[in-house]
Structure 1
Amino acid sequence: MIRWAPYAFVRLTLALAAGILTYFYLGNALPDMRGAVLVITVLFLGVQVWSTRSANLGLTNAAGLLALLTIYGTGLTLTQQATESRRADHLYRFGSQIEFYRAVVNDYTVVRPATYATTVRVLAVRVHGHWQPATGGIRVSIPRQENSAVVAAPQYGDVWLVRGAPTPSKPPLNPGEFDYRRYLAYHQVYHQQFIHPDQYRMIAAQPPSYLRAVSMRAARTLDGVFRQYVHAKREYALASALVLGIKDDVDQETKQAYANTGTTHIMAVSGLQVGLLFGATMWLLSQVPGRRGPFFRAMTAVLGLAVIWTYAFVTGLSASVLRAAVMFSFIIVARATGRQSTMYNTLAVAAFGLLCYDPYLLVDVGFQLSFLAVLSIVYVQPRIMTWLDVKGYFVARQRPWQPKVVQKLWQWTSWLMNSIWQATALSLAAQVATFPLGLFYFHQFPLSFLASNLVAVPISSGAVYVGLILLLLKGAIASLGLVAPALATGLDWIPRLVAGVFELMIWLFNEYIFRIGRLMPGALISGIHVTAPQTWLVFGVILTLLTFFAARRLVWLGLACSLLGAFAGNQVWAAHQLKTDERLIIYSIPRRSVCGFWQGASADIVMVDSLPLSDPERTYRIVPGLIAREAQRVQYHMGWRGAAVPATQCAPDSGLVLMAWRGLTVAFVSQPLSSARQPKPVSLVVLRRNARVKAADLAAVFGKDIRIVFDSSCRSWYVQRMAPELQQLGMQTYDVTTQGFYSIQPRS
């Protein structure tokens, strides 16, 4: 039996999360729940008062259930109210009637090779010549250069006047592709727009939050310190990412190396950095003599909160830092007030507060990983530590007759090996609860995480301290320069010396990460596909096994085996379903002609335009669908020559290629066609490269009872011109650029 009394907020947080999840699955089908929640709340208060006066156990239990039901309904209602698309003045209500709109930039600007990307919040729209209030978020992209002129990056607080209507976010266009539309919706952004520089004008500067505007400016100022003192480009990029969370200059190769070794968290300013500051502050305060009494506890709490929130402020008040700051703030306050009954309750209070503020945090990957990692560390790490008594083993090797130097050596060895064992236990404990999410979201698991973290995390943690010291020194010398410029200039060698140490430490852990990747190339297990139900089953296995080891009852082991059997059965059934699945895929990849032939666990990907796929095209457009199918054999072919699928070109230099595969015949047309007396029997016609072909010729060659597919190499103006002509002749059309991939199964 679970004793809930010490974990009151754990059950309340679980009830709140259940209500939020209910909205995610059933929200569109539910009416406004505010009235129902009000009724349940009044009923709960009545039963609670009655149970208090009568001291009836049944009424007390009923009051407890009603309390959980109230919190459950509150979670559902909060999520309803936080969903902007439900509002009457949302952009969805205006559709394409919008002529102009006013919006304010309210997010960081992401610098890409060719564009700037940011989010704007709409203030008003003009429809039929009249302005009216509106709400909604739009993810916008603008080119960095236009007619050889460099376009200024959008700044937080810029108010724009934009011509034209935004379009609803597109769903995934290829099998298994990342659902960017859902990701944006979780952040209350439902529209996207590519804006040319002549399509918008900045009309004012009015930040939604002046505090955040100053915070972001402070972060950029501190970034300038690293840019000044850290000279190597890669080391500067990592320094800014490690201490300030600014990752604009981190190259893709570095990001991939850290992802492959399970150390991506080093580059994200979140719980690691805030925890390091919290630990350093607590250690410094522990050195103060006479550290007892309520006054010292209060002073400790105030200083701890000041340090954490100052760091959150100078790093731009990003979501990940705010989440970690709130978590540690609850821990600090709980310690200061003496109300920290258990760490689980304290974490539940932090999660409860964050979810009440933004219910959509529940589906945020960072939120999930942060809280699961901390919970796992709190519960699992002490139990892993009991496996080995490292400290006792080396202390027992000391003998009274040994020289003092030898005894000190044993003591230092004991401390060092125990610290390594603690770090090992912590890393293992964090993985226990987070690896299912890693499989679900990232489709990979780095076996080298232990070797990577044991060295890289301590060095990077030290680098965080050194980087903060560099910023403090530069700030102090800059302040001194206001009254004594000459003295400040003479002292500039001090931050330069610290910056040299800082750059060396960053170089060391970065080189270590890359070396681990080179020495252990097979340590990354990738291409793993688990569905959401399978992920829940894995979590169920973990929880039941932990319960078994704690309770020592076979019933829990039996339940774990049953869940594991359900997981294996689900995998076997999915493989059985896949075995007989065959289909032809016309991919939606901008300006490309690519098709895939899927047959069970094998796939042949043909680049019809005979051009190789770039890494982003392969990684983000093709591979997710192959992972979902758990494809074991994948071959890529540039052009039809050498492909396993037979294809013939009807005439030299002709624009017609006929492909036959498992009963399907597909015609790929890229040039004008000659007339034919008898229509060619094909299953599908694919138009490529804006083929200069007449609708009548297509009807004459292939007949009218045929489907025409425009692949991604066709421009929008071409599709808009050709589609109506083909439809007038009775032919069906499909545009993969706007409608997503096209799939057809062989005839049975």
Structure 2
Amino acid sequence: MSMKYGLFWSALCLSFGIFLYGSLPLYEGIAAAAVFFVLPALAAIKITHKKEAVLILCGAFFISLCGMGRMHLADEVWKAQSSWALHAEGTYTAVVTEPPVVNREGEGYARYTAELKDIRYKDGTEKPLKGFAYVYETNPKEIYGPGVKLSVKGEMTPIRIYDNPGKIDLESRYRSRRIIGRIYTEDEKSVRSLGDSGEYRAEKAAELIKGKVMDTFSPYMDPVRLHIMMTLLFGGSYNEIPESVMSSFSATGIVHILSVSGSHVALIFGFLYFLGKWMHLPKKLVIGGAIILVLFYSGLAGFVPPVLRAAIMGILSVAGLFFDREKTAVNILGAAVTGMLLWDPFFLFDVSFQLSVGASAGILIF
């Protein structure tokens, strides 16, 4: 275990601790980590008498315990959500948190991700709520964006989790986003707007900017190509692209370009670097501007795991240039993974995170 790649090994140990917490009861997980790290440390003392190996293994054990502790805190946050409201029928007050998923084929629907505020039962009793839910509206007359407060009449039902190994781990994704249920509405009168809540302003601003970009190009492009362009730029418009077109992207092996990731961030850094060089701007000014622009672009793309990983890696790379310090790319990846897992340990079970980090690690190591 070379300390040249200390941050990379730290990320692996942190991931190991998170995995143990999700796979075993707490005390069994600690025991498993002890067997994995502490026993080899004791053997190293007896065989080699080298303190360095002991310190490294004990440090790895400590980082694994930190992973378990972080996962425990995330689990406690999940348990604090208002799961008692499942199967409760009444009028919910909720705030839309992100652009809805809209399906216009057949019997169209809009699916909103909404933060639950309270519920009012039929007898007039009101109770505060904590958590998020999917709100489904059939044949919507109006589409509501982030920050809009909604009144939703219906019953909240549990999220279905299908046991399908090899597919997306939806349970961890729901826990990460604190999605506790879904509400299906009966008719168009079951969902109505209560106006702007004043929340989720960043998400609302991002949608306004993307809307202006879309309006700029819409006179010159047909709807299919327009949505493909928006997905190439910002991701997230997959439902607006016909299934036949998505199949063509898959068949040609280029469907990954529809997902915002490291190539987009690299293009931004590269463009600004050459622009700054052409204008003879100070290197540190160019780097500072690039970091601000990447953070802004990541917000437009929704801060999904591949974007976060790419943005953090890119920022750490240019920060190394800023401080005139060279770092290995593997260590930068380790720092990005460590930061993301400390922010949200459920990322470890997200297939988007796994593929993004796995591909980056494969390229750097092999």
Query: Partner letter of residue 24 of structure 1?
Result: G
* 2:173 and 2:346 in contact (8 A); partners too: no
More relative contact order, 1 or 2 (CA 8 Å, 6+ apart): 2
Provide the rounded CA distance (Å) in 2 between the counterparts of 1:173 and 1:378: 34
Query: Partner letter of residue 20 of structure 1?
Result: I
Partner of 1:302: 288
SS in structure 1 at match of 2:241: coil
Partner of 2:17: 19
**Among residues 287, 290, 315, which one is paired with 1:329 in the alignment?**
315
Query: Partner letter of residue 289 of structure 2?
Result: L
**Structure 1 residues 368 and 30, CA gap change in structure 2 (3 angstroms):** same
Partner of 1:134: 129
* 1:85 and 1:92 in contact (8 A); partners too: no
Matches within 5 A, 1:498-647: none
SS in structure 2 at match of 1:165: strand
Partner of 1:274: 265
SS in structure 1 at match of 2:18: helix
Cα shift at 1:234: 2.8
State the structure with more CA Rg.
Answer: 1
Cα shift at 1:376: 2.5
Alignment deviations for residues 606-625 of structure 1 (CA, whole Å, 9 cap, x no partner): xxxxxxxxxxxxxxxxxxxx
Cα shift at 1:351: 1.2
State yes or no: 1:198 paired with 2:198: no
Cα shift at 1:332: 1.1
* 1:219 and 1:315 in contact (8 A); partners too: no
**Among residues 158, 162, 165, which one is paired with 1:172 in the alignment?**
162
State yes or no: 1:80 paired with 2:72: yes
Partner of 1:10: 8
Provide the rounded CA distance (Å) in 1 between the counterparts of 2:170 and 2:15: 23
Partner of 1:119: 113
Cα shift at 1:319: 5.1
Cα shift at 1:268: 1.9
Provide the rounded CA distance (Å) in 2 between the counterparts of 1:62 and 1:126: 59
Cα shift at 1:173: 8.7
Q: Structure 1 vs Structure 2: percent identity of aligned residues?
A: 23
Provide the rounded CA distance (Å) in 1 between the counterparts of 2:127 and 2:172: 28
Query: Partner letter of residue 22 of structure 2?
Result: F
Matches within 5 A, 1:397-408: none
Alignment deviations for residues 539-579 of structure 1 (CA, whole Å, 9 cap, x no partner): xxxxxxxxxxxxxxxxxxxxxxxxxxxxxxxxxxxxxxxxx
Query: Partner letter of residue 301 of structure 1?
Result: I
State yes or no: 1:240 paired with 2:224: no
Gaps of 5+ in 2: 35-48
Partner of 2:210: 219
Cα shift at 1:306: 2.7
**Among residues 148, 155, 164, which one is paired with 2:145 in the alignment?**
155
Query: Partner letter of residue 100 of structure 2?
Result: T
Query: Partner letter of residue 19 of structure 1?
Result: G
**Structure 1 residues 116 and 95, CA gap change in structure 2 (3 angstroms):** closer
Cα shift at 1:378: 2.8
Query: Partner letter of residue 378 of structure 1?
Result: L
TM-score, normalization by structure 2: 0.82
State yes or no: 1:258 paired with 2:256: no
Provide the rounded CA distance (Å) in 2 between the counterparts of 1:178 and 1:19: 21
Query: Partner letter of residue 336 of structure 1?
Result: F
Provide the rounded CA distance (Å) in 2 between the counterparts of 1:240 and 1:319: 19
Cα shift at 1:169: 1.0
Alignment deviations for residues 195-228 of structure 1 (CA, whole Å, 9 cap, x no partner): 2322233224225432222122211221221213
TM-score, normalization by structure 1: 0.42
Cα shift at 1:85: 6.5
**Structure 1 residues 143 and 94, CA gap change in structure 2 (3 angstroms):** closer
**Structure 1 residues 298 and 320, CA gap change in structure 2 (3 angstroms):** same
Query: Partner letter of residue 261 of structure 1?
Result: T
Partner of 1:340: 326
**Structure 1 residues 70 and 132, CA gap change in structure 2 (3 angstroms):** farther
Cα shift at 1:279: 1.9
Provide the rounded CA distance (Å) in 2 between the counterparts of 1:172 and 1:365: 16
**Among residues 83, 97, 108, which one is paired with 1:92 in the alignment?**
83
**Structure 1 residues 66 and 378, CA gap change in structure 2 (3 angstroms):** closer
Q: Let me know the Cα RMSD of the aligned residues.
A: 3.1
**Structure 1 residues 64 and 174, CA gap change in structure 2 (3 angstroms):** closer
The total of aligned residue pairs comes to 342
Cα shift at 1:357: 1.1
* 1:215 and 1:317 in contact (8 A); partners too: no
**Structure 1 residues 157 and 210, CA gap change in structure 2 (3 angstroms):** same
Higher mean C-alpha deviation, range 268-277 or range 66-75: 66-75
Partner of 2:358: 372
Provide the rounded CA distance (Å) in 1 between the counterparts of 2:327 and 2:309: 22
* 2:85 and 2:156 in contact (8 A); partners too: no
Partner of 1:106: 97
State yes or no: 1:362 paired with 2:348: yes
Query: Partner letter of residue 143 of structure 1?
Result: T
**Structure 1 residues 74 and 115, CA gap change in structure 2 (3 angstroms):** same
SS in structure 1 at match of 2:87: helix
Provide the rounded CA distance (Å) in 1 between the counterparts of 2:198 and 2:12: 36
Provide the rounded CA distance (Å) in 2 between the counterparts of 1:188 and 1:74: 22
Cα shift at 1:188: 2.5
Provide the rounded CA distance (Å) in 2 between the counterparts of 1:226 and 1:322: 27
Cα shift at 1:120: 1.1
SS in structure 1 at match of 2:240: coil
Alignment deviations for residues 586-614 of structure 1 (CA, whole Å, 9 cap, x no partner): xxxxxxxxxxxxxxxxxxxxxxxxxxxxx
Partner of 2:43: none
Query: Partner letter of residue 255 of structure 2?
Result: T
SS in structure 1 at match of 2:116: strand
* 2:172 and 2:346 in contact (8 A); partners too: no
Provide the rounded CA distance (Å) in 2 between the counterparts of 1:30 and 1:316: 33
SS in structure 1 at match of 2:193: strand
Query: Partner letter of residue 288 of structure 2?
Result: V
* 2:155 and 2:184 in contact (8 A); partners too: no
